[in-house]
Chains A and B, each alone.
Chain A
């Protein structure tokens, strides 16, 4: 028997349920391989849950080992976020600037930057809208592009070094990206690409510096909707701390949108996994998204939004 619930309390309840659902629900449209938990014998004695790779094999926990020296000019390997597999999720936006309502977490927008930012309707964070009303291109499986590939759902990442290039193989959307190390310069007036154009070089024995330009304006910088123009330049620094640790920093530089460059990621820690770890498959799938919207997204959204989509 339903009691009459005051309207204010009802909307608060609905909002609460909704806000609890959405961070989880925003994972739904991705057709991600569910972790198989078949091998219960693999559970370790520690309190931490065991994480499994794509082949169903347990990923070894981070042991307290003595730091071994870093190899020179080498960032190759399979790297996992050091503080847990979800540490690079960044649902509230770039790691150092999450939209959580706390002070100091807003990038230095120009007036044009703020206007562009306010036009975005993200599906998470303090400015979130219901799933069916977001205008986040990634929510409809448009390519994330760069630098968002570093700043949202940044997970197990493989780095392969070849004589004239470094290849980065991301887990999310199974995308690969090339960083040319053959001495070429960035193109002067390139046709935009989702993932832009990248060149890199070693600035000392343990730091690899990457510059990127030519990024398609349609992408968001992060999940919170930080905007960019075609003038965006991104600098990444990969710092090999020791044999088993890598730090990634990402600097955003777009004078039209931001008054000065800002660090979207600041020495994000990663740890080395064994070479035989199979990365889980995680690919955005529009058909999945349709199912999700029909069951969850549309019922909690404004009907008008569905037509706009």
Chain B
């Protein structure tokens, strides 16, 4: 296997001397994310880089901050959407954006007793309770599917939304996963077999707000990157609010009476802006073989042979 996929990644990670959090994210990206620039083409994006490149190696200009607001189209959230606060604004390393475990605020969701117990049993690889990958039980570290709602609450990046007569499709960057939200009036299934990404139905509550309900979520997934748990009673509500032509706000509410005393808003109006239609989304797919290499070379201490 070609070594060129890995060594530049290690060098890049060490040179940047980012906190462990960012190194772990780099370890999950494909080789195409981490390679150094070739004749001015694709570079890894970070908060330091002035220019962002799309998957085709084309430079993407950020919209002018004083751009005039254009009215929102009616009942339309389609397009290629980018987190407005920067490419990493939706990554949420330390947990759901509204409830981060970063040692500063450590705002806690309203756990029940069983919820708190399960949360403590989960050992994330990041945040104030983080452990090394070998000691973590985070399913995403071994490339299990993120599932839902974690797909919204960790590594949320350039997201495509496609509207067709009967459904809305969401195409995520992370793991290149697509998800269906049925708008044909069907109800959520009563006692569904759990799926990683559950079952979703959606409807317009006004001309600019699309509300989605999701159930049937596989219990093995974590809600976010720091191990907030959920049971089979979980229901998730998303709200997509089209602010104007170029902006969308995305909110996620978690409702699981077994794990949490009351619903809590995990993502509160995350702002996204509209990319041009010819923007090619970068590829970012979890690869167990790459993850194993990363863990053995960087993630885990050398003394421990797991």
Contacts and interface: CB of A to CB of B under 8 A. Distances in A.
Contacts of B171: 167, 169, 176
Contacts of A133: none
Nearest to B176: A175
Given A182-B278, A278-B180, A193 B32 contact: yes
> Which of A141, A191, A195, A281 has the largest count of B CB atoms less than 10 A from its CB?
A191
B87 interface: no
A176 B184 contact: no
Interface string A186-207: 0101111111010000000000
A33 B199 CA distance: 12
A281 B176 contact: no
A34 B35 contact: no
Main secondary structure of the interface of A (DSSP, over half): loop
Interface in A263-300: 275-276, 278-279, 281, 283, 285-287
A174 B35 contact: no
A36 B193 contact: yes
Contacts of B288: 140-142, 286
A178 interface: yes
Contacts of A169: 169, 171, 178
Interface stretch (A19-27, A156-164, A239-247, A254-262): A156-164
Contacts, number: 114
A286 B169 contact: no
A253 interface: no
A180 B280 contact: yes
B220 A275 contact: no
A217 interface: yes
A162 B277 contact: yes
B49 interface: no
Contacts of B42: 191
A301 interface: no
B135 interface: no
B144 interface: yes
B169 A160 contact: yes
Contact of A287 (B144, B278, B283): B144
Nearest to A283: B145
Nearest to A140: B288
B278 A190 contact: no
A176 B38 contact: no
A194 B30 CA distance: 8
A189 B38 contact: yes
A261 B243 CA distance: 51
Interface stretch (B118-126, B158-166, B222-230, B246-254): B158-166
Interface string B274-292: 0001101101010111000
A187 B38 CA distance: 13
Given A160-B162, A167-B162, A189-B38, A31 B196 contact: yes
B177 A175 contact: yes
A56 interface: yes
A125 interface: no
A143 interface: yes
A160 B177 contact: no
Given A162-B162, A174-B179, A177-B176, 19 more contacts: A54-B199, A55-B199, A142-B287, A143-B287, A160-B164, A163-B277, A164-B277, A169-B169, A169-B171, A175-B177, A175-B178, A176-B178, A180-B278, A189-B38, A192-B31, A193-B30, A195-B176, A216-B30, A278-B182
10 contacts: A31-B196, A142-B287, A160-B162, A167-B171, A169-B178, A189-B38, A191-B38, A193-B55, A275-B166, A286-B144
